[in-house]
C-alpha cells in the first residue's frame, strides 16, 4: 500500500532541493561573467508532486519519461536522492559541464530518456517511441521484459505547439498505446495566463483521437470541503484562470473577500468553517499536488490505453510567488529563501543533505520509498558495433539517377537475405512511391499493429504497389507532416538506447520540405539519434515540378547542422559507397546521422579504373579529373549537374593548361575538416585538412569556378581555404517550371555559364 504521508514528505524535500539548486547557482556560487544564471523555481514547484508520484510509486524500470524542460531541477533532485547524481554536478547547475538547463540525453550524467527543451517535441517523440516499441515487439525483436510505458510531462502552454496535434493524429492512425501524457495545468505561461476557452477543447481533441482523458482538478481535501457547498464549487469551477492565479497569490483574505463579493450569504457557511490560512491552503489543494489523487489516477490507468492526465497545479506551489503571473523566471531572494528553508526545519549549511530536517519515522519512511523505487538509477552505457555492413553492389546501367539507384540498392539488400535488412525501418510522409521506396515496401511490407487489407489486390485490380499492412512489415507510412517524419526517425534512431536493439531507420521526403520539419530534425540530432535521411528529388533539376518543389538551401542547412553528415552523390557507385558508410555510422561509437541529397536526373555513369577515389569521396571530395602541376584553374562541381561540369571541362581543357575538375561529395565534411584543422593549429597540431590537401595541388594564384544546384554559398567558401579567387555558380532565386536546358541557362548552371565565369577569372 502506498505510503501517502511519506510521498508528501518526499515531495516537499524534492521541491526544496530543486529550488536550492537554482538558488545556489544564482545567489551563492561565484559568477565569472556577472550574468544571471536563471532557472525555473516556479515551474519546478508546480510539477514536483507529479514527478514524486511517478518516480516513487507508478513507474517501472522499463518506463521512459520525457520531463518538462523547466522541471529539470526536480529530475536532478530525484536522482540526487537515488544516488545517480552528485553534489558537484548540482553545484555547477547551468555551468560548464554541470547539470544542464534542460534534461539532456548526451550532456547530463543522469539517465535522461528524451532530451527536452524544444517545446512540444519532447512530448511528441514519446508517441513515436511507443510506435517503435510496437514495431519491434511485432517482429519478436523485443523481449517482454524490455517493454514499458512512455510518459511525457508537459506544461499547459506546450499544448499550443502544432506538432503535438500532428503527432496525435498520426498516433490514432497507428493505434498507438502505452502512452501517458501529463499536463501540468498551472494556467500560466512565460508571458500570460492560459486562455480559459482552450482548456475546454483539449479533452475533446484527445478523446476524438481515441485517448482516455483524466482530469485531476481538486485534491481530496478541497473536494471534501466543496461537497456540502455546491454554490462555492460552481463558482470556483467558473472562475477565470487569471482570477484564480491572482487569488492564489493574494492568499486567504483575498479568497474570502471575493467569495463574499460574488456569492454573499451563499458562501457564509463555507467561509465560517475556515480561517484565512485554512482557505489559502484549501484552495491550493489542487489535483496535481494531492498525492492521493495522483497515485489513484495513475494506478487506475494501468493498461495500454493512451491517457492524457490534466493535473491542475499552482505555478510556484509552496513558494513566496505562488500564482503570480510574473513568476515564470522568478527567483527567491536570499531573505525569502532563508525563510523557506527555516520553515522546513533545515539548518543553514545543511541544504545539500538529501534528507536534512527529517528524523524518526518520517526519515525512515522516506528513505524506504527511495530504496524501493523501481526506476533506473544510473545512466546506461551506449552499446555500438553490433553488426557488419555487407557490400552494397552498384546497380548496373550506363545511365542512372541517384534516386532510382537508391531504390534498387535498398531492394537488393532486402532480397539478399542478409540479417542487416531485418533491422531496416523505413518511413515516409506520403511520398513512399515518389521517393523510390516502393520496391522495398513491396518486398518487406507495410507495418501496422492490427493489419490493413489491400483491397485493390483482393479485387485483382492491377497495381504496382502491394499495400497490405501486417505486423511483420518494415515500412511505417506517415501522413503529410514532416515534423512527424523526423520525430519518427529520432525515436527509431534511439532504439539501441531505449530497447537494446539498434535499428537502421531510413526516412525519405522531398528535399525542399526538410525545412518544414527542421526543428524536429535538429532535435533528433541533438539527442544523437542515428538514422539515414534521403531527400529527393532536389534542386532546379526537378524541372517541370516548378519552384514550389525545387530546393535551394538544404546544403546550407546541412553545413551548419551538428550530428548530420551530408553527401550529394553524382553517380550510382558514389551512392552505394555513401549508403554503406551511413549504415556503418549508425552503429559506430563516433558515428552520426546521414543526409543524402538525390536527384531524378539520369546521367551517364563515370567509368572507373580503380577504387582509389573512394577514400577521398568519403572524406568529402575527390579529383574527378586530376589537375596538372601548379594548375591555374579548376572547376568544382557537386551532384546532378556533373554532366555540365564535365562538358565544360572538355571544352576548356585545351585552352587552360592543367585544368582540374573537383567533385565535391560533402561540403559539410570538407568545412568540418577545415575548421577542425584550423582549431588544431591553434593547439599546436599541424595536420592539413582534406580540402587543403586537395586544393594544395593547384597554384596559389589558381581560380575556381564552383557549380551546384543549390545556393552558391554551399561551395563559394572554398576560396577562403587557400586564398583562391572564386566565381560561384548556383541558385539564389526561386525556381520555375521548364525543361533542363532552359532552366540551367536561365539560372547560370550550364556550360556557357561555366565558360564565361572561367574567362572572367582568368582574363578579367
pLDDT digits (tens, 9 = 90+) for 2-33: 899 999 999 999 999 999 999 999 999 998 88
Backbone angles phi, psi at 751, to 5 degrees: -60, -40
C-alpha cell at 509: 521526403
Cβ atoms of 366 and 13 closer than 8 Å: yes
Residue corresponding to grid cell 517524419: 485
Residue 515: pLDDT above 90?
Answer: yes
Structure pTM? 0.95
Give pLDDT, residue 154. Answer: 95
**How many angstroms separate the Cα of 90 from the Cα of each of 70, 82, 155, 352?**
15, 14, 24, 9
Adjacent-strand bridge partners of 663: 622, 637
Give pLDDT, residue 194. Answer: 64
Give pLDDT, residue 193. Answer: 63
What SS3 state is found at 130? helix
In this structure, the number of other CB atoms found within 10 A of the CB of residue 116 comes to 31
List, for residues 159-169, the tens digit of each pLDDT value.
889 999 999 99
In this structure, the number of other CB atoms found within 10 A of the CB of residue 355 comes to 18
Sign of CA dihedral 246, 250, 255, 258: negative
C-alpha cell at 522: 535538429
Do you know the residue count of the chain?
764
Q: What angle do the packed helices 642-652 and 751-762 form, to 10 degrees? A: 50
Confidence of residue 329 (pLDDT cuts 50, 70, 90): confident
| Mean pLDDT, rounded, for 32-60 | 94
Residue corresponding to grid cell 516499441: 133
Confidence of residue 180 (pLDDT cuts 50, 70, 90): very high
Alpha helices in 395-529 (DSSP H): 402-416, 438-444, 455-458, 482-493, 495-499, 518-526
548 vs 538: CA distance, rounded Å: 11
The angle at the Cα of 735, spanning 730 to 737, to the nearest 5 degrees, equals 130
315: alpha, beta or left, given left = phi > 0 and alpha = psi -120 to 50?
A: beta
Cβ atoms of 446 and 475 closer than 8 Å: yes
C-alpha cell at 739: 525543361
DSSP 698-759: EEEEEEEEEE-SS-THHHHTTHHHHT-EEEEE---S---S--HHHHHHHTT-SHHHHHHHHH
120 vs 156: CA distance, rounded Å: 10
Residue 603: pLDDT above 90?
Answer: yes
Give pLDDT, residue 222. Answer: 96
Residues in Cβ contact with 726 at an 8 Å cutoff, skipping those fewer than 6 apart: 703, 704, 705, 706, 716, 718, 719
Amino acid at each position: 500500500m502506498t505510503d501517502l504521508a511519506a510521498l508528501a514528505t518526499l515531495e516537499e524535500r524534492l521541491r526544496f532541493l530543486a529550488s536550492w539548486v537554482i538558488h545556489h547557482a544564482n545567489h551563492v556560487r561565484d559568477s565569472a561573467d556577472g550574468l544571471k544564471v536563471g532557472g525555473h523555481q516556479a515551474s519546478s514547484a508546480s510539477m514536483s508532486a507529479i514527478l514524486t508520484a511517478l518516480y516513487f510509486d507508478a513507474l517501472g524500470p522499463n518506463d521512459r519519461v520525457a520531463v518538462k524542460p523547466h522541471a529539470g531541477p526536480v529530475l536532478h533532485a530525484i536522482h540526487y536522492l537515488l544516488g545517480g547524481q552528485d553534489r558537484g554536478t548540482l553545484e555547477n547547475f547551468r555551468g560548464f559541464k554541470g547539470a544542464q538547463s534542460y534534461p539532456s540525453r548526451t550532456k547530463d550524467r543522469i539517465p535522461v530518456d528524451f532530451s527536452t527543451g524544444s517545446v512540444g517535441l519532447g512530448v511528441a517523440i514519446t508517441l513515436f517511441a511507443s510506435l517503435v516499441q510496437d514495431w519491434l515487439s511485432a517482429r519478436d525483436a523485443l523481449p517482454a521484459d524490455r517493454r514499458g510505458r512512455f510518459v511525457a510531462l508537459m506544461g499547459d502552454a506546450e499544448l499550443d505547439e502544432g506538432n503535438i496535434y500532428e503527432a496525435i493524429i498520426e498516433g490514432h492512425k497507428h493505434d498507438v498505446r502505452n502512452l501517458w501524457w501529463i499536463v501540468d495545468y498551472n494556467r500560466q505561461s512565460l508571458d500570460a495566463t492560459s486562455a480559459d476557452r482552450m482548456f475546454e477543447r483539449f479533452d475533446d481533441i484527445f478523446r476524438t483521437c481515441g485517448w482516455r482523458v483524466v482530469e485531476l482538478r481538486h485534491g481530496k481535501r478541497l473536494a471534501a470541503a466543496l461537497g456540502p457547498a455546491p454554490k462555492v464549487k460552481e463558482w470556483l469551477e467558473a472562475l477565470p484562470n487569471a482570477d484564480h492565479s491572482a487569488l492564489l497569490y493574494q492568499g486567504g483574505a483575498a479568497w474570502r473577500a471575493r467569495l463574499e463579493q460574488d456569492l454573499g450569504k451563499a458562501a457564509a457557511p463555507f467561509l465560517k468553517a475556515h480561517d484565512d490560512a485554512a482557505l489559502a491552503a484549501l484552495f491550493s489543494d489542487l489535483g496535481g499536488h494531492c498525492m492521493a489523487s495522483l497515485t489513484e489516477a495513475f494506478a487506475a490507468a494501468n493498461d495500454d490505453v493512451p491517457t492524457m492526465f490534466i493535473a491542475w497545479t499552482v505555478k510556484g506551489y509552496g513558494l513566496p510567488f505562488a500564482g503570480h503571473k510574473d513568476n515564470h523566471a522568478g527567483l527567491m531572494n536570499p531573505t525569502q529563501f532563508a525563510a523557506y528553508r527555516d520553515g522546513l526545519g533545515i539548518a543553514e549549511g545543511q541544504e545539500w543533505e538529501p534528507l536534512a530536517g527529517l528524523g524518526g519515522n518520517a526519515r525512515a519512511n522516506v528513505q524506504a520509498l527511495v530504496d524501493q523505487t523501481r526506476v533506473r538509477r544510473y545512466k546506461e552505457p551506449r552499446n555500438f558495433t553490433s553488426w557488419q555492413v555487407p557490400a552494397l553492389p552498384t546497380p548496373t546501367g550506363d545511365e542512372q539517377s541517384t534516386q532510382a539507384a537508391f531504390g534498387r540498392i535498398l531492394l537488393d539488400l532486402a532480397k539478399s537475405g542478409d540479417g542487416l535488412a531485418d533491422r531496416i525501418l523505413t518511413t515516409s510522409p506520403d511520398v513512399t512511391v515518389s521517393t523510390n521506396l516502393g520496391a522495398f515496401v513491396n518486398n518487406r511490407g507495410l507495418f501496422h499493429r492490427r493489419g490493413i487489407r489491400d483491397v485493390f489486390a483482393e479485387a485483382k485490380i492491377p497495381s504496382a504497389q502491394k499495400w497490405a499492412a501486417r505486423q511483420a512489415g518494415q515500412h511505417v507510412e506517415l501522413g503529410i507532416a514532416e515534423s512527424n517524419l523526423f520525430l519518427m526517425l529520432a525515436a527509431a534512431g534511439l532504439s539501441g538506447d531505449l530497447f537494446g536493439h539498434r535499428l537502421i531507420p531510413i526516412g525519405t521526403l522531398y528535399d525542399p520540405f526538410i525545412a518544414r520539419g527542421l526543428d524536429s530534425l535538429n532535435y533528433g540530432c541533438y539527442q544523437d539519434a542515428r538514422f539515414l535521411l534521403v531527400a529527393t528529388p532536389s534542386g532546379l533539376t526537378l524541372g517541370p515540378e516548378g519552384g514550389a518543389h525545387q530546393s535551394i538551401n538544404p546544403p546550407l542547412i546541412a553545413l551548419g547542422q551538428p550530428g548530420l553528415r551530408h553527401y550529394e552523390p553524382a553517380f550510382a557507385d558514389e551512392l552505394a559507397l555513401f549508403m554503406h558508410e551511413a549504415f556503418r555510422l549508425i552503429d559506430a561509437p563516433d558515428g552520426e546521422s546521414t543526409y543524402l541529397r538525390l536527384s531524378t536526373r539520369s546521367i551517364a555513369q563515370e567509368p572507373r579504373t580503380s577504387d582509389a577515389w573512394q577514400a577521398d569521396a568519403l572524406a568529402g571530395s575527390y579529383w574527378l579529373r586530376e589537375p596538372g602541376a601548379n594548375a591555374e584553374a579548376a572547376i568544382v562541381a557537386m551532384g546532378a549537374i556533373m554532366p555540365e561540369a564535365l562538358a565544360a571541362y572538355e571544352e576548356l581543357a585545351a585552352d587552360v593548361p592543367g585544368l582540374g575538375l573537383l567533385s565535391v561529395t560533402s561540403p559539410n565534411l570538407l568545412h568540418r575538416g577545415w575548421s577542425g584543422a584550423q582549431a588544431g593549429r591553434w593547439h599546436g597540431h599541424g595536420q592539413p585538412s582534406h580540402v587543403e590537401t586537395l586544393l594544395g595541388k593547384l597554384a596559389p594564384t589558381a581560380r575556381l569556378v564552383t557549380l551546384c544546384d543549390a545556393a552558391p554559398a554551399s561551395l563559394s567558401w572554398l576560396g577562403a581555404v587557400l586564398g583562391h579567387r572564386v566565381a560561384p555558380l548556383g541558385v539564389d532565386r526561386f525556381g520555375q517550371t521548364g525543361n533542363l536546358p532552359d532552366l540551367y541557362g536561365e539560372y547560370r548552371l550550364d556550360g556557357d555559364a561555366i565558360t564565361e565565369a572561367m574567362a572572367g577569372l582568368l582574363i578579367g
